[in-house]
């Protein structure tokens, strides 16, 4: 089922849970709804989605919690029962609390309506019947800590049952146990097959560990369309579809000089592949001329592999000449952290041309921090930890805070690479919702740096180059993974997929997630 969006509704916007609560209250006021009616809308949206995905699954097991998420579950139970489905509802409560009012009066109303239909509610430890699908309505977006022991027991049972019996799990709004703001997982978490989120897309569904538990993400605004347009988020979701309005057609009369001169510096002994991958990626992305300064021993190999490159030995003299020649500078891939690389980086610091620092340039930057607003930095989690003098687990606790701190100390544009890459410039934050686990291999970061700098060479801004480059990078990997699978894809395998996206003008040409 293809998602349908109103053209005026920016489905690219992503919201924090706190802002969503404000929007929800405004929705109730503007649309003259009660909270219970909004809960009914969520239940109906989930009901439609499940019936579309699994029309022939007869026995539904609905796990309910004590908040509004549980209320959504009771609404869903009543709808399923009304069309002849067999429904088992199981509460997170013990026997002595099964009929205790829930934390939300609207959820309590939904539960009471279920009971008034002469339907039972099982306790958390009751035996499970043989079911066809599990609905996760345990914990919503208000989770602040690890689930308690009762919730955890249900989460573990659901995951185990799903695996053992090949039964799908459908989560309402967010997989229970996943933090809606940060995408972190402080305890047990539902491993959803599908997640249907409501009102707006939450940050925690796209970043952190979200991809490992969300499954296929679906969305229904429940009528919040106009409100979201008015109350735009400062966070944007980037997908392959975003390219359609971002990349203009090329001037028929342009020449290579119009498409920029890119200088790439790196490739110490044993690290030649990094800088070569970056150079080829820049050419495939449309850069006019690409010059690499590297070790002399690499020159013949580079030119035999890619004769369109300009390749010279890195010396102080050649570097000064190349810096004067270039429009854009990329430094870091294979640079190393010894005197050879340090010397090149120190000379570069005197230039104010647009540049990108990656890999070892970032490791050296962490030792001698400086701020530059005409620079893109592209750290992965380990490099980000070094740049902020933290450990990786501290970065993973709050990606948004981490990227804000990187921008605060280093300026320019920050690309924090992860499963759900974040890109920040001033108040503009984007989350890249493309890419897959095939990209967890050597050279992928060098490829991304080359793509971004290829775009910079064509006069895209630093921020736009970073955003477009990350989309192309992830989309090329998605396209290839659909054909080849996840394991065994190399960075260089993506080179022949880049042109498909740098020239994209119709999303229907490629059957990809949008």
pLDDT at position 270 is: 95
Residues in CB range of 111: below 8 A, 6 or more apart? 64, 70, 71, 74, 102, 121
What's the rounded mean pLDDT across residues 117-129? 94
List pLDDT tens digits, range 236-260. Answer: 999 999 998 888 888 788 888 888 9
For residue 513, name the pLDDT band (cuts at 50, 70, 90).
very low
Mean pLDDT of the chain: 93
Q: Give me the pLDDT at residue 511, please.
A: 53
With cut-offs at 50, 70 and 90, classify the pLDDT of residue 140: very high
pLDDT in tens, 262-279: 999 999 999 999 999 999
Asked whether the predicted pLDDT for residue 146 surpasses 80, the reply is yes
Instruction: Report the C-alpha gap between 464 and 481 in whole angstroms.
Output: 25
> What percentage of the chain reaches a pLDDT higher than 90?
83
Query: Within 13 Å of residue 316, how many CA atoms lie on the same side as its CB?
Result: 5
- pLDDT band for position 508 (50/70/90)? low
The reported pLDDT for the residue numbered 267 is 98
Give the mean pLDDT of 3-8: 38
SS3 (DSSP) at 215: coil
Please compute the mean of the pLDDT values over residues 501-505 and round it to a whole number. 85
Give residue-wise pLDDT tens across range 431-469. 999 999 999 999 999 999 999 999 999 999 999 999 999
* Rounded average pLDDT over 496-513: 73
Contacts 24+ apart (CB under 8 A), 18-22: 18/181, 19/200, 19/231, 19/233, 20/141, 20/199, 20/200, 20/202, 22/231
pLDDT at residue 142 greater than cutoff 50 = yes
For the chain, report the end-to-end CA distance as a whole number of angstroms.
Answer: 12
Q: Do the Cβ atoms of 333 and 355 come closer than 8 Å?
A: no
Task: Look at the block and give the residue holding tokens 């992830």.
Answer: 474
Q: What is the pLDDT of residue 10?
A: 45
Contact between residue 263 and residue 325 where contact means Cβ atoms under 8 Å apart:
yes
pLDDT tier for residue 509 given thresholds of 50, 70 and 90: low
Q: Is the pLDDT of residue 175 over 50?
A: yes
Percentage of the chain modeled with pLDDT above 70:
96
Concatenating the DSSP letter of every residue in 110-131 gives HHHHHHHTT---B-TTSPP---
- Please state, in angstroms and rounded to a whole number, the distance separating the CA atoms of residues 504 and 242: 10
Q: Which residues contact 360 (CB under 8 A, 6 or more apart)?
A: 266, 332, 333, 334, 335, 336, 337, 341
Distances (CA, A) of 103 to 48, 75, 181: 27, 16, 21
In the predicted structure, residue 200 carries a pLDDT above the cut 50: yes
DSSP reduced 3-state for 235 = strand
Of 386, 274, 291, give the one whose Cα is nearest residue 341: 274
Q: Give me the pLDDT at residue 227, please.
A: 75
30: pLDDT confidence band, cut at 50, 70 and 90? confident
> What does the pLDDT average to over 97-108?
85
pLDDT tens profile 396-443:
999 999 999 999 999 999 999 999 999 999 989 999 999 999 999 999
Please state the pTM of the whole predicted model.
Answer: 0.93
> Is pLDDT at 232 greater than 80 in this prediction?
no
Q: What pLDDT score was predicted for residue 294?
A: 98
Q: How confident is the model at residue 182 (pLDDT cuts 50, 70, 90)?
A: very high
| 12, 69, 234, 239, 475 from 507: Cα distances, Å | 15, 35, 25, 11, 11
Residue 99 confidence (pLDDT) above 90: no
- pLDDT at residue 96 tops 90: no
Report DSSP state, residue 448: H
* Domains with residue ranges and CATH for the chain: 13-233 (3.40.50.10260), 244-505 (3.40.1190.20)
Does pLDDT of 3 surpass 60? no
Contact 117, 86 (CB under 8 A): no
pLDDT score recorded for residue 506: 52
Q: Would you say residue 149 has pLDDT above 90?
A: yes
User: So what's the pLDDT on residue 104?
Assistant: 85
């Amino acid at each position: 089922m293809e998602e349908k969006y109103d053209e005026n509704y920016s489905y690219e916007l992503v919201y924090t849970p706190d802002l969503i609560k404000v929007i929800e209250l405004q929705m109730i006021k503007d649309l003259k709804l009660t909270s219970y009616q909004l809960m009914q809308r969520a239940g109906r949206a989930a009901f439609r989605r499940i019936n579309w995905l699994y029309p022939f699954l007869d026995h539904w097991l609905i796990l309910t919690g004590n908040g509004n998420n549980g209320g959504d579950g009771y609404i869903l139970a009543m709808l399923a029962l009304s069309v002849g489905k067999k429904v088992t509802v199981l509460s997170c409560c013990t026997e002595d609390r099964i009929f205790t009012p829930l934390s939300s009066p609207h959820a309590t109303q939904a539960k009471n309506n279920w009971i008034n239909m002469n339907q039972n509610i099982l306790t958390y430890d009751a035996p499970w019947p043989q079911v066809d699908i599990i609905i996760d309505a345990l914990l919503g977006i208000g989770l602040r800590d690890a689930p308690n022991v009762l919730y955890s027991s249900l989460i573990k049972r659901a995951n185990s049952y799903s695996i053992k019996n090949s039964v799908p799990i459908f989560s309402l709004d967010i997989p229970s146990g996943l933090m809606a703001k940060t995408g972190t997982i402080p305890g047990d978490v539902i491993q959803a097959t599908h997640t249907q989120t409501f009102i707006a897309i939450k940050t925690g569904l796209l970043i952190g560990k979200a991809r490992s538990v969300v499954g296929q993400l679906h969305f229904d605004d429940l009528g919040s369309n106009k409100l979201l347009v008015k109350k735009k988020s400062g966070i944007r979701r980037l997908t392959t579809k975003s390219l359609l309005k971002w990349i203009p057609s090329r001037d028929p009369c342009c020449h290579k000089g119009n498409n920029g001169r890119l200088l790439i510096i790196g490739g110490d002994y044993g690290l030649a592949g990094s800088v070569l991958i970056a150079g080829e990626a820049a050419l495939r992305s449309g850069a006019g001329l690409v010059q690499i300064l590297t070790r002399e021993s690499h020159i013949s190999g580079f030119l035999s592999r890619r004769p369109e490159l300009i390749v010279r030995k890195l010396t102080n003299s050649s570097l000064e000449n190349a810096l004067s020649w270039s429009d854009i500078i990329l430094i870091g891939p294979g640079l190393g952290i010894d005197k050879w690389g340090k010397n090149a980086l120190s000379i570069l610091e005197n230039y104010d041309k647009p540049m990108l620092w990656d890999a070892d340039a970032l490791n050296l930057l962490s030792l001698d921090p400086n701020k530059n607003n005409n620079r893109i930095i592209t750290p992965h989690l380990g490099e980000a930890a070094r740049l902020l003098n933290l450990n990786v687990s501290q970065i993973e606790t709050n990606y948004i805070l981490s990227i804000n701190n990187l921008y605060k100390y280093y300026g320019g544009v920050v690309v924090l690479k992860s499963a759900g890459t974040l890109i920040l410039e001033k108040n503009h934050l984007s989350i890249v919702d493309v890419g897959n686990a095939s990209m967890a291999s050597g050279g992928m970061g060098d490829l991304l740096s080359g793509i971004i700098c290829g775009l910079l060479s064509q006069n895209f801004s630093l921020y736009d180059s970073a955003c477009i480059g990350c989309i192309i990078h992830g989309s090329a990997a998605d396209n290839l993974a659909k054909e080849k699978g996840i394991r065994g894809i190399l960075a260089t395998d993506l080179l022949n997929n880049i042109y498909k996206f740098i020239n994209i003008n119709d999303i229907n040409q490629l059957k990809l997630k949008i």
